[in-house]
């Protein structure tokens, strides 16, 4: 089978080994994009076109590919991709924030021209993505592949028992085997049936005596505080001196600190939580990230999600909204495309919505809420573990779990909330069954150097998990 591998390897030798094993099984790697391609032994892949990730991101063709022979996209094709265009233009907020709307649109047309031409020229039968496509060019490839009826394969990393990988064909549908196992559930399982790592994770998350804050969250916050924050800033300053951007960075920092910024605006309008009234806890996703673009669909606009829910709740209910704790750490405090000036003030203009201090415990909010709402966030999964129903606006890995209400409008929110008011309960047995099937279909793994460091697991098992899933999917009839 002719295969494309997109944004793959990123310098990890075991990920190159995965593709080496796929090639040994008789499959042809026609096209390969990714970072650190110099680490790949290209002599082993003599017929493969290699395309540097950053060249692809900038719209530059791969060496040896003459894109002048590809015609620009016609109206019919662009109309068929109308929803893709909308998502892609928003996705450009991360890498191309300075481009005007017209510049973004024309660049998008260029990407459609190039990748539709490449797909027609090389005729792949399946396209393998390392992660859910979310860096503009790979999302265009994915969308064209779906339109042309090509098989797509990708992987999602789940932060449980360290890191676990699960494969899928469509990020909106999730893992089809997991969905089928849940739908066809014929047997109940006990906690003792869970694998050791997942069992430990479940017991830790459901214990009242243990701080269940995920290790990756604690490590992330620790890496950006105290001595670690000082070292990080020294590295940034040193690099800025080297590339002569130090003066601009100092100016931006000073202006952000003395002027208005995201954090100041948020603190001005936040309210301490009170648990006397029924409320829905709505956790904002960090942005920009794949978890909202593309996995949130139209609810990449999280204000739209808040407005939708606010229009649906009973008049005596409230919505408690809390910002993602990493939002101000990673993007500093400057306003930007996803958190523009007035963003938080717009939220609290809704009479039944309150902003919670970021330091408010997730678990206090979850435990006291009638339900939790999110695009795709981890608090939704944490709520299920605590027997709280979840209103999900996007496509998270846990979307097929019992207790999830998939909503996309005020009307669907009203229906879900009515069921909750009438006594809907999340059964612990259903969560255990879901974890059992998830454990069987996933494997301990990672997808880049950062997650590899945190995972601290045997790379051979990681490679074998990828290979098993890929070979099964490649051979599976569509």
Q: H-type helices in 96-168, by residue range?
A: 101-122, 137-148
Pair 194, 202: CB distance under 8 Å:
yes
CB-CB neighbours of 95 under 10 Å:
14
Q: Which residues pair with 392 in a beta bridge?
A: 374, 406
Distance CA 85, CA 89 (A): 6
Q: Helices (H), strands (E): how many in the chain? A: 21, 13
Nearest CA to 337 out of 103, 138, 92, 108 is that of: 92
User: What was the pLDDT predicted at 161?
Assistant: 76
- Continuous H helices in 298-409: 302-310, 327-330, 343-348, 362-368, 378-385
Tell me the angle at which helices 196-206 and 428-441 cross, rounded to the nearest 10 degrees. 150
**Chain centroid to CA 439: how far?**
20
pLDDT of residue 253: 58
d(CA 327, CA 333): 8
* pTM to 2 decimal places: 0.90
For the chain, 478 residues long, give each residue's pLDDT as a single digit of tens.
999 999 998 879 999 999 999 999 999 999 999 999 999 999 999 999 999 999 999 999 999 999 999 999 999 999 999 999 999 999 999 999 999 999 999 999 999 999 999 999 999 999 999 999 999 999 999 999 999 999 999 999 999 878 999 999 999 999 999 999 998 878 999 999 999 999 999 999 998 655 556 555 555 555 556 676 667 667 767 777 877 776 665 655 555 666 789 999 999 999 999 999 999 999 999 999 999 999 999 999 999 999 999 999 999 999 999 999 889 876 678 889 999 999 999 999 999 999 999 999 999 999 999 999 999 999 999 999 999 999 999 999 999 999 999 999 999 999 999 999 999 999 999 999 999 999 999 999 999 888 888 777 888 889 999 999 999 999 886 5
Concatenate the DSSP letters of all residues of 6-25 into one string: ES--TT-HHHHHHHHHHHHT
Tokens 């800033």 correspond to 233
- Measured between alpha carbons, how far is 96 from 93 in angstroms, rounded to an integer? 6
- For residue 30, which phi and psi values (nearest 5 degrees)? -80, -30
Domains in the chain and their CATH numbers?
2-163+445-475 (3.40.50), 265-436 (3.40.50.2000)
Query: Which burial class, exposed, middle or buried, applies to 193 when counting CB atoms under 10 A from its CB (0-12, 13-18, 19+)?
Result: middle
φ, ψ for residue 464, nearest 5 deg? -60, -35
| 373, β-bridge pairs | 282, 391
Q: How many Cα neighbours within 13 Å face the side chain of 118?
A: 35
């Amino acid at each position: 089978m002719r295969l494309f591998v997109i944004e793959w390897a990123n310098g990890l030798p075991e990920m190159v080994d995965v593709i080496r094993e796929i090639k040994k099984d008789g499959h042809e790697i026609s096209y390969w994009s990714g970072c650190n391609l110099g680490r790949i032994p290209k002599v082993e892949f003599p017929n493969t076109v290699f395309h540097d990730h950053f060249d692809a991101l900038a719209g530059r063709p791969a060496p040896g590919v003459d894109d002048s022979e590809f015609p620009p996209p016609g109206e019919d094709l662009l109309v068929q991709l109308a929803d893709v265009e909308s998502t892609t233009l928003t996705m450009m907020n991360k890498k191309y924030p300075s481009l005007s709307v017209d510049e973004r649109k024309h660049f998008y047309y260029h990407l459609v021209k190039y990748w539709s031409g490449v797909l027609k020229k090389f005729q792949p039968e399946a396209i393998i993505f390392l992660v859910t496509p979310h860096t503009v060019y790979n999302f265009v490839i994915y969308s064209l592949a779906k339109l042309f009826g090509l098989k797509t394969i990708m992987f999602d990393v789940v932060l449980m028992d360290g890191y676990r990988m699960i494969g899928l064909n469509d990020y909106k549908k999730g893992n089809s085997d997991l969905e089928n196992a849940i739908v066809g559930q014929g047997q109940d399982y006990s906690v003792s049936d869970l694998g050791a790592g997942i069992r430990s994770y479940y017991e830790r998350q459901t214990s009242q005596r243990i701080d269940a804050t995920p290790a990756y969250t604690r490590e992330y916050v620790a890496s950006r505080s105290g001595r670690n924050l000082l070292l990080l800033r020294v590295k940034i300053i040193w690099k800025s001196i080297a590339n002569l951007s130090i003066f601009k960075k100092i100016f931006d920092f000073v202006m952000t600190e003395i002027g208005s910024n995201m954090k100041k605006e948020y603190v001005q309008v936040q309210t301490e939580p009170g648990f006397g009234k029924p409320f829905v806890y709505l956790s904002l996703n960090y942005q920009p990230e794949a978890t909202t673009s593309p996995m949130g669909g139209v609810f990449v606009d999280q204000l739209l999600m808040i407005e939708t829910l606010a229009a649906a709740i009973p008049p005596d209910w409230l919505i408690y909204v809390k910002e993602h704790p990493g939002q101000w750490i990673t993007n500093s405090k400057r306003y930007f495309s996803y958190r523009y000036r007035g963003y938080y003030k717009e939220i609290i203009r809704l009479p039944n919505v309150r902003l919670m201090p970021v330091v408010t415990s997730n678990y206090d909010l979850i435990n006291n809420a009638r339900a939790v709402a999110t695009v795709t966030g981890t608090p939704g999964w944490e709520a299920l573990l605590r027997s709280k129903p979840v209103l999900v606006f996007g496509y998270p890995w846990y979307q097929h779990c019992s207790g999830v209400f998939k909503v996309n409008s005020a009307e669907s929110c009203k229906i879900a909330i009515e069921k909750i008011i009438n006594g809907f309960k999340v059964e612990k047995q259903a969560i255990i069954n879901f974890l059992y099937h998830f454990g069987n279909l996933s494997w301990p793994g990672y997808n880049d150097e950062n997650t590899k460091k945190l995972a601290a697991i045997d790379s051979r098992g990681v490679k074998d998990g990828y290979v098993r899933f890929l070979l099964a999917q490649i051979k599976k009839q569509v």
